[in-house]
Amino acid sequence: MEDDTFDGRIAGATELERRIDWSGALRDYDALLRALEAEQVRDGPWQLRYADIQFRRGNALMELRRTDAARVAIDAGLHAAKASGSPLVVAKGLLAAGVFAGSSGDFIRAERFLLEALDLCSRDRGIEARQGAGWAMLNLGSLYGKTGRLDLAFVTLEKARERLYGIENWGGVAASWEAQAQLRRAIGDEDRWREDLAEAVVFYDRERMTEKSGQLRAMLQGKLV
């Protein structure tokens, strides 16, 4: 598959994610996976593409609560990432595995995976690595909140925002504000969780994620709990 074709199809599926159409995104990723599996040459670049698709599939499957299938996709992606020899792709896999473990309630493994991903990303100063580090910290902040380490949670979320803001990853900045709002709401900080959620809306709008910002506006207006 030509690079332009592959990148174009990824962009189309990513746009469906932005519109919170996880079923549509998964259909596109499944089609890409079938196309990759039909190829005869399975060299390093192929492994990179295969890992990327499986991680994206795993995320979509998690959003659709298809837990067993998500685990299989992430494991397959990690295997390909290690075969590719790319530390950043391995970091993506560890990030995906950390998110999965956290969503499954396995907080110890989740923290280990996320810290490993953060370490790998922190060894590189490229924009992709900085983005990976920011998202690893974002998920770590949420995890620290779930496990009662509140001070560490708020500090880590703030650091995640700083990193993601620095590379103008507005979706990540928005997600960090949303995660902080969820944490404040969980501890009964009624006023400040709304302020944080309003910040998330600003950045989701900046990223043109209108469906997501609409959902959060509904929460602020008391129409969605």
pLDDT at residue 225 in the model: 38
CA atoms within 13 A on the CB side of 172: 25
Q: Which domains does the chain have, with CATH numbers?
A: 1-82 (1.25.40)
Phi, psi of 103 (to 5 degrees): -70, -20
pLDDT at residue 148 in the model: 94
Nearest partner of 1 among 35, 30, 33, judged by Cα: 35
Mean pLDDT of the chain: 93
SS3 content of the chain, % helix, strand, coil (to 5): 80, 0, 20
Mean pLDDT of all residues in 207-213: 92
pLDDT at residue 190 in the model: 84
Q: Does the predicted TM-score (pTM) go above 0.75?
A: yes
Is residue 13 predicted with pLDDT exceeding 90?
Answer: yes
pLDDT at residue 2 in the model: 67
CA atoms within 13 A on the CB side of 151: 0
Q: Which residue has the tokens 């890409």?
A: 32
Intra-chain end-to-end CA distance of the chain, in Å: 44
Task: Decide if 178 contacts 200 (C-beta within 8 A).
Answer: yes
Residue 221 pLDDT class (50, 70, 90 cuts): confident
Residue 56 pLDDT class (50, 70, 90 cuts): very high
Mean pLDDT of all residues in 192-216: 94
Amino acid at 163: R
Task: Decide if 103 contacts 119 (C-beta within 8 A).
Answer: no
Q: What is the tens place of the pLDDT at every residue in 62-90?
A: 999 999 999 999 999 999 999 988 999 99
Instruction: Say how far apart CA 135 and CA 159 lie, in whole Å.
Output: 10
pLDDT at residue 85 in the model: 87
pLDDT at residue 168 in the model: 96
Residue 224 pLDDT class (50, 70, 90 cuts): very low
Task: Decide if 76 contacts 33 (C-beta within 8 A).
Answer: no
